[in-house]
Structure 1
């Protein structure tokens, strides 16, 4: 009797599981399909071909995939190489605290690029992939001007605090905050436009809003009040670097594929005003499938005319971890990271640069999204990246992020799942 299992059957989405197929004939060719449906009804799936070993077993952690969604030995390949049935969809967990993603694994006889509803699998099972661990609490935040969601690990604390920021699409994205809280951090997923009663569009970057959020987090009775961390990607990385520069509350910053200059909208903080480098929309490039390549819209930051727009990172007092995807097609992220590091105090920063990785470097539960739609753009956006090196970058960088935050914010207690 053929059997497919996932161990553990229920797990956090950033943690590895073991997939095994047993009961096949020796050397039998099979297709292993993984699929899930997100909250909007979009289906994502991977479909990979294997040859059973002499014992009639398939283990993606030891047996090389022959083709399909990927090739080679990838223990988490069926999960990491999920792709949408409908083009240009990004896999994002929206209902973070309420339910897991349910990933269905099915084994079919032979090599199949497509199956019909009439095709019966030899075996199937379902895996739960959670974005919060047991006991993690989600608290909506609507205090003063601050809007977001606070994720608290179980127990009395105090826990090290982290502010989590995303980019130019706006809104509130919570999946990374939930996973970080499951690792023992108190995490404020912070919206800064296009959410609740915040401005629909970002007209200025007022650092006093982020200072208010930092103080709110540090005042919480379950948050260790000795300084906090910030993690941001894209426009959120630009904000995070500004916070690290001007706010003494910030002692550890993770910057993922962003800039080191103020772009598009001015930065305002008390009496300070940093003018932006304008976006040059006429330089937009339209690439495969009509997707927009943003990288050319940024003026060359090395132009002396833009020197007033530089974030004065030489004032950074904490530590900064720069994470770069060298195949980023949205920003020239490596250039921005290198320019920032050249002006920073010795020993204050570190660079992780990944060949083949694109713009959206996320926890390892997230398959590569190289092209998608975002709220702020009428066109498809080209993020870049190649599936296999991007997956490796996400796996490695996530562990580095966790260790960096632990090192500079203090020890944490993790949940078991």
Structure 2
């Protein structure tokens, strides 16, 4: 009798799941499939082919897939290889508090491709992937100009405080903040355009808004003082780096695939205005998929013409962790972050460190999230190419997630460490 087990059946989205098949004839070839629908009804699917061992078992912690969406031993491969049925869709959890993603796992006792809808699986299991742990609380933030969602771990605290920034997609994205809160951090997922009464489009980066958010977070009775952290990606990473440079409240900053200069729109902080580097639209490249590669449209901050746009990272009071996907097709983020680290060192500072991941793309997210190779972005007529190899990207996400938490624990709990 074929049996398919997946444990735990209900867990956080960044927890691994152990998938195990028993009751097979020895050496039987089987297909395992995974599927889920997001909150908009978009379908994501994956599959892999396995061969049972001599006792009729397939244990994904040990057994190599020999085909399908990945090959080799990848215990969570069915999760990180999920692909959208309709192209250019990104898997994003919207409601992080009240509902999980439901992932259905199906077992077939032969090679079975995705379009074999008439064949019934021999066994099935459904697992729940939650984005907030027991006791995590969410508070809607509408104070002064600041808009966002504050996630607090269970308990009295005080907790290390973190501001979470995403990029050009706009709106309020909370899945990373809620997961970090599930691991003991108090996290403000901060919107800065295209949300409620904030501007529909980002015309300038007003650093005063982000300083207001930092002060609001530090004033909360459950937030540990004297400083906070920032986790940021893409345009958010550019802003996060600027926060590290100019705001004394920020003592630990994670910049994921960002740039070391003001880009495309001006940065303002009081009377200070940082002139942006403009993109070269004529360098746009169209990938065979139809998505646009904009990696080569960015100006080089090392160019003398752009020196006034480079962020003064040597002024940062805290620690900075740069995380880079070397197959990022949106930004040459490795080159930008190498420049930032060199700039720190040239001023005698050792407070910046870079983690570079070969094969990883632009959208590095918490573990087991599927690679989004390209997707639609608001206000752009073509999908944007993000890049990345699925297996390498998945390995990068898993490693970086642990490094991010360790970095914040080290530098937020010991904020008085000397640079």
Q: Residue 296 of structure 1: CA displacement?
A: 1.6
Q: CA deviation at 1:342?
A: 1.0
Distance 1:263 1:108 in 2: 50
Distance 1:128 1:266 in 2: 43
Q: Note the 1:394-413 alignment, pairs <5 A.
A: 394-410=397-413
User: What TM-score, normalized to structure 1?
Assistant: 0.97
What is the TM-score with the length of structure 2 in the denominator?
A: 0.97
Aligned to 1:41: 41
- Matched position secondary structure for 1:290: coil
Conservation of the 8 A alpha-carbon contact between 2:314 and 2:349: no
2:71 equivalent in structure 1:
71
- The runs of at least 4 consecutive aligned structure 1 residues that moved more than 4 Å come to none
SS in 2 for 1:179: helix
Aligned position for 1:18: 18
Structure 1 Cα separation of the partners of residues 337 and 58 of structure 2: 43
Matches within 5 A, 1:90-105: 90-105=90-105
- Does the CA contact (< 8 Å) of 1:168 and 1:376 recur in 2? no
Structure 2 alignment gaps of length 5 or more: 415-419
What is the rounded CA distance, in whole Å, between the counterparts of 1:257 and 1:7 in structure 2?
33
Q: CA deviation at 1:42?
A: 0.6
Q: Shift of the alpha carbon at 1:8?
A: 1.0
Q: Displacement, 1:376? A: 2.7
Asked whether 1:362 is paired with 2:369, we answer no
CA deviation vs aligned residue, 1:137-176 (integer Å, no higher than 9, x gap): 1111111000110111011111110000000111111110
Query: 1: CA distance between counterparts of 2:93 and 2:57?
Result: 32
In structure 2, the residue corresponding to 1:240 is in which secondary structure?
Answer: helix
Look up the match of 1:137: 137
Q: Aligned pair 1:220/2:220, yes or no?
A: yes
**1:243 paired to 2:254:** no
Quote the Cα distance in structure 2 between the aligned partners of 1:114 and 1:347: 51
Instruction: Find the counterpart in structure 1 of residue 6 from structure 2.
Output: 6
Aligned to 1:388: 391
* Counterpart residue number, 2:353: 350
After the TM superposition, which residues 73-222 of structure 1 pair with which residues of structure 2 at under 5 Å, given as runs? 73-222=73-222
Shift of 1:225: 2.1
How far 1:347 moved relative to its partner? 1.7
User: Matched residues in 1 for 2:187 and 2:242: separation?
Assistant: 19
Counterpart for residue 417 of structure 2: none
* Unaligned 5+ runs, structure 1: 412-417
Contact conserved, 1:13 with 1:129, CA < 8 A, in 2?
yes
User: 2 CA distance for matches of 1:279 and 1:194?
Assistant: 22
Deviations 1:113-152 (A, max 9, x none): 1254432111111111110000101111111000110111
Q: In the TM superposition, what is the alpha-carbon distance from 1:178 to its structure 2 partner?
A: 0.7
CA distance in 2, matches of 1:131, 1:376: 28
Tell me the equivalent position of 1:288.
288
Report deviation, 1:354.
Answer: 0.7
What is the CA–CA distance in structure 2 between the aligned matches of 1:44 and 1:63, rounded to whole Å?
24
